[in-house]
Amino acid sequence: MFAKKIIPFALAASLAFVGTMAMAKQTFVTIGTGGITGVYYPTGGAIANIINGKKDQYGIRASVESTGGSKFNINAIDSKDLDFGIAQADTQYMAYNGKGPWEGKPVSKLRAVFALAPEAVTFVAAEDSGIKSVKDVGGKTINLGDPGSGNRINSMDIFKAVGITPGKDFRDEKLKPADAPRVLQDGRIDGFFYTVGHPNGNIKEATAGKRKVRIIPITEVGTLLKDAPYYSMVEIPMDQYPDATNAKDKVKTVGMLATLVTSADTPEDVVYAITKEVMTNLDQFKKLHPALAGLTKESMLQGLTAPIHPGALKYYKEAGLVK
Ligand code: GLU
């Protein structure tokens, strides 16, 4: 009688223990992205989609947050408010090495995971503003973007290279990218900067309105490319924006790669699982946004200037991608 009661109790207790073990294996991770009309947000969604599809195997539940962009994501990883974030290769380099906005305060725990789609510093200007080059912004109102964005850092670099001072030579706005196309259409700004992968909904929206707009080439960059090894010259695929007034031009500008970053404190098995699942399901991943179409396993190992997280490195070694 006594024993009969004991057995179910012991069983229930051990079941409860197993239950706790299973619950303990659930890992919740947050991925910081960018504005909802950019490429980071759907890219973060694509990463979450791949890893959440394997939650029975890994117990990882990833969720995506819309944020101000690269700078915000890196700082939020540093303060442990985010586990992962997407950040431009230039901001990854500057943050880890304590340069630019991180001068004197390097984010030494920042770790690289993999690279994503290339991005281009995209300067959209109203045709009626008369702007044809970055040198024509005198007296205008230009949105350099969210204080947490990478595009604000890039546009500052570019204006510095041509000797123009934002806030003095022209009025500088700090709008979110999702608001910029509408505010441009309303006539409240003359142009905006967005460092973003192509094609994307934001530039489509900006070019498709009643107010005609063009995409301005950025070629007068002084010594920028020499001083900053993470920048390169790229061409914007204008066939994606047939409504831009210069849709037939070849528009050259400064570009870099987007990258996935994390903290040295993120567990190795979590970073391993995400890296492995994205890389081994690359065809499925690439279909989740047109800007990801050109990704290859090899391109995903470019632009990583912070140390590669050991979890990612474990997969790269296993897959023979690094020695
Ligand atoms: N490159 C932009 C930034 O760091 C974000 C681009 C995007 O959201 O697609 O601010």
pLDDT tens by residue, 304-319: 999 999 999 999 999 9
Closest alpha carbon to 286 in 300, 301, 273, 272: 300
Ligand 1 atom nearest the C-alpha of 43 is: 9
Burial class from Cβ neighbours inside 10 Å (0-12, 13-18, 19+) for residue 254 reads buried
* pLDDT the model gives residue 2: 42
- How far is the centre of ligand 1, averaged over its atoms, from the C-alpha of 80 (Å)? 20
Question: Which of 52, 114, 132, 76 is CA-nearest to residue 275?
Answer: 114
Q: pLDDT value at position 14?
A: 53
Amino acid at 82: L
Residue nearest to atom 6 of ligand 1 (CA): 196
Q: Work out which ligand 1 atom sits closest to the CA atom of 149.
A: 10
Residue that has been written with the tokens 């831009």 in this structure: 244
Cα of 253 from ligand 1 centre, angstroms: 16
Ligand 1 atom at minimal distance to the Cα of residue 39: 9
Query: What's the CATH architecture for 2-118+257-318?
Result: 3-Layer(aba) Sandwich (3.40)
CB 39 within 8 A of CB 177: no
**pLDDT for the residue numbered 5:** 46
Measured in whole angstroms, the distance separating CA 101 from the mean position of its chain's CA atoms is 17
Please check the confidence at residue 10 and state whether its pLDDT lies above 80: no
**Residue spans per domain, the chain:** 2-118+257-318, 119-256
Q: Which numbered atom of ligand 1 lies nearest the CA of 258?
A: 1
Q: Tell me which of 37, 74, 77, 196 to substitute to probe ligand 1's pocket, judged by most ligand atoms within 8 Å of the beta carbon.
A: 196
Same fold, 2-118+257-318 and 119-256: yes
How far apart (Å, rounded) are the C-alpha atoms in residues 159 and 279? 38
The predicted-structure confidence for 214-266, as pLDDT tens digits, reads as follows 999 999 888 888 888 789 999 999 999 999 999 999 999 999 999 999 999 99
The best mutation among 72, 86, 175 to test binding of ligand 1, ranked by most ligand atoms within 8 Å of the C-beta, falls on: 86
Distance (angstroms) between ligand 1 centre and the Cα of 133 equals: 22
Average of per-residue pLDDT values in the chain: 93
Q: Which architecture does CATH list for 119-256?
A: 3-Layer(aba) Sandwich (3.40)
Pocket around ligand 1 at a 6 A CB cut-off: 34-35, 38-40, 69-70, 88, 119, 149-151, 195-197
pLDDT of residue 150: 97
Q: Looking at this protein, which amino acid is placed at residue 277?
A: E
Please say if the pLDDT value at position 208 is more than 50: yes
- Locate the ligand 1 atom nearest the alpha carbon of residue 197 and give its number: 9
Percentage of the chain lying above the pLDDT 70 cut: 93
Question: Residues 152-176: what's their mean pLDDT?
Answer: 96
CB contact at 8 A, 213 and 205: no
